[in-house]
Amino acid sequence: MSAFPRAAELGLIGCHVCGLVISADMPDPDDAADELACPRCGSALHRRKPYSYMRTWALLIAAFLLYIPANVLPIMRTASLNDIDDNTIISGVVELWVKGSPDLAIIVFTASIVVPMLKFLSLGTLLLSSQRGSGWARPQRAKLYRLVEFIGYWSMLDVFVVALLTALVRFGLLSLVEPLPGVIFFGLTVVLTMLASMSFDPRLIWDGRDSDD
Amino acid sequence: MGTTPPEALLICEHCDTVYRRQPLAHGDVARCACCYAVLERHHGLSVNVMLALVLTAMIVFVQANMWPIVTLGLNGQLSGATLWGTIIVMWQQQAQVVAVLAAGTLFFFPLLKMSLLGWLLWFGRLGRRAPGFVPMMVTLHYLQPWTMSEVFVLGALVAIVKAHLYFDVMADPGIYAYAVLTLLITVFAGVDLRQLWELTPEDRA
């Protein structure tokens, strides 16, 4: 038995939207709780985010599928008088590194490659371990989730870079930048991973605590 | 649970642990003893200060959107870009998804967030709940993760460095406005908007 009192055991529900604590005694927390609305903000009350595992898995897998074309397809075309150069995410990082801005190359590499991969691995780990009710490294997993939530939207960096360069480099035949389909896939990947981390309920990490430790 | 009323309680959103609320002194941060998530944070900003910051942010936001961000030069030819110029070009270049994402996360959502906050704080200053308080607070909650101006600033920096390899790059006033906006966003990042629920009495909804 854990030392900390948990809301579900005390018959309490916290509103996801406004944080109000409501006492709601329900014999079966899983289905009856869905009918309740928060008296303060009117949002639906849940003990856990509804269908958290299903939604998070679905969004995460969809995000991963889109992440493949986002990396394989070029995200940007640079055209000048005598050559056309298609850039993928990775070749953009390499270009920054080679042409003398290794610090920015690291930032872009982190935002575009490390952060999305970290999200796939972290959320996958969190989903699998929570679904098994594992008691392994709970505080660390809770921290990992907060990290994923915090860094998630910085991946949009490369999308904004391509957009700005497209708008800026408009010198007709001399020099022109165009967005290529990879950037669309990448933008969608970022949105889907954000939605995935939002639909995961970190409370699931701590559920089943009494049964196996 | 017995005698403690639910309003005096706090539930950790990350692990469902229940706490009795404690008054926080200046600079205090209440952390969950179970999962170490931040439960509540005391910040020194009064409603007046927050309103002043929101109004400042709105002025800077207008400037950041109207003024060009960067100008490139090639053989005497100049080419500048504003945020909306960027969005429109992306739309015309068959990247409508990106145009919509940028318009939402860099223009409409930040604008909506500032307007709602300004409205709520204006009435909060007078100790009242603004008309439309409840739906606005709910909207703000869902809007929270979808504003990305600070990411755009970093993106502009990367774009400048990349363009610098081939063109003459001139930073325009818009980029400075964006830098100030990022600072204001950082100041606001520590503010838990949920306190507005407690700040104003329930009966004036």
CB–CB contact B138 A156 (8 Å):
no
Residues B6-47 have pLDDT tens digits of 677 888 888 888 888 888 887 788 888 888 888 888 777 788
Identify whether residues B14 and B63 lie together within a single domain: no
Residues of chain B contacting A192 with CB distance shorter than 8 Å: none
CATH of the domain at A85: 1.20.140
Q: What is the pLDDT of residue B176?
A: 92
At residue A177, what are phi and psi to the nearest 5 degrees?
-115, 135
pLDDT over 90, % of chain B: 47
DSSP H helices, B126-172, are: 133-143, 149-164
Q: What is the pLDDT of residue A103?
A: 86
Task: State in Å, rounded, how far the first CA of chain B is from the last one.
Answer: 30
**CB neighbourhood size of A128 (10 A):** 11
Identify whether residues B91 and B35 lie together within a single domain: no
Identify whether residues A110 and A169 lie together within a single domain: yes
DSSP H helices, A73-175, are: 89-98, 102-109, 115-131, 138-151, 157-168
Identify whether residues A3 and A76 lie together within a single domain: no
Q: Can you tell me the distance from the alpha carbon of A64 to that of B122, in angstroms, rounded to the nearest whole number?
A: 44
Are B37 and A146 spatial neighbours (Cβ–Cβ below 8 Å)?
yes
In this complex, which of B16, B36, B162 lies closest to A139 when CB atoms are compared? Answer: B36
Do the domain assignments include residue B1? no
Q: Can you tell me the distance from the alpha carbon of B44 to that of B50, in angstroms, rounded to the nearest whole number?
A: 10
Identify whether residues A108 and A171 lie together within a single domain: yes
Identify whether residues A136 and A153 lie together within a single domain: yes
Length of chain B: 205
A13: left (phi over 0), alpha (psi -120 to 50) or beta: beta
Identify whether residues A101 and A164 lie together within a single domain: yes
Residues B154-188 have pLDDT tens digits of 999 989 988 888 889 988 999 999 999 999 988 88
CB–CB contact A21 B1 (8 Å):
no
Residues B109-161 have pLDDT tens digits of 999 999 999 999 999 888 888 899 999 999 999 998 899 999 999 999 989 98
- Give the mutation candidate from B15, B21, B109, B199 for the A interface (greatest A CB count, under 10 A): B15
Give the closest residue to B202 by CA, choosing from B151, B127, B148: B127
Residues A131-183 have pLDDT tens digits of 888 888 888 999 999 999 888 889 999 999 999 999 999 888 788 899 999 99
Q: Is A35 exposed, middle or buried (0-12, 13-18, 19+ CB in 10 A)?
A: exposed
Tokens of B163: 């363009």
In the beta sheet, which residues pair with residue B64?
A: none
Expressed as residue numbers, the domain containing A150 is 51-212
Identify whether residues A41 and A72 lie together within a single domain: no
Domain count, chain B: 2
CB–CB contact B152 A108 (8 Å):
no
Identify whether residues B173 and B80 lie together within a single domain: yes
Identify whether residues A74 and A119 lie together within a single domain: yes
Identify whether residues A56 and A68 lie together within a single domain: yes
CB–CB contact B81 A167 (8 Å):
yes
pLDDT over 70, % of chain B: 94
Expressed as residue numbers, the domain containing B16 is 6-41
Nearest CA in chain A to B140: A17
Identify whether residues B91 and B67 lie together within a single domain: yes
Instruction: Please write down the HEC assignment for all residues of B28-70.
Output: CEEECCCCCCEEEECCCCCHHHHHHHHHHHHHHHHHHHHCCCE
Nearest CA in chain B to A49: B13
**CB neighbourhood size of B130 (10 A):** 21
Do the domain assignments include residue B160? yes
Identify whether residues A42 and A67 lie together within a single domain: no
Identify whether residues B119 and B135 lie together within a single domain: yes
Do the domain assignments include residue B53? yes
Q: Can you tell me the distance from the alpha carbon of B182 to that of B151, in angstroms, rounded to the nearest whole number?
A: 9
Do the domain assignments include residue B111? yes
Identify whether residues B14 and B104 lie together within a single domain: no
Give the closest residue to B55 by CA, choosing from B12, B119, B103, B2: B119
Domain count, chain A: 2
Identify whether residues A33 and A65 lie together within a single domain: no
Identify whether residues A92 and A36 lie together within a single domain: no
Identify whether residues A112 and A197 lie together within a single domain: yes
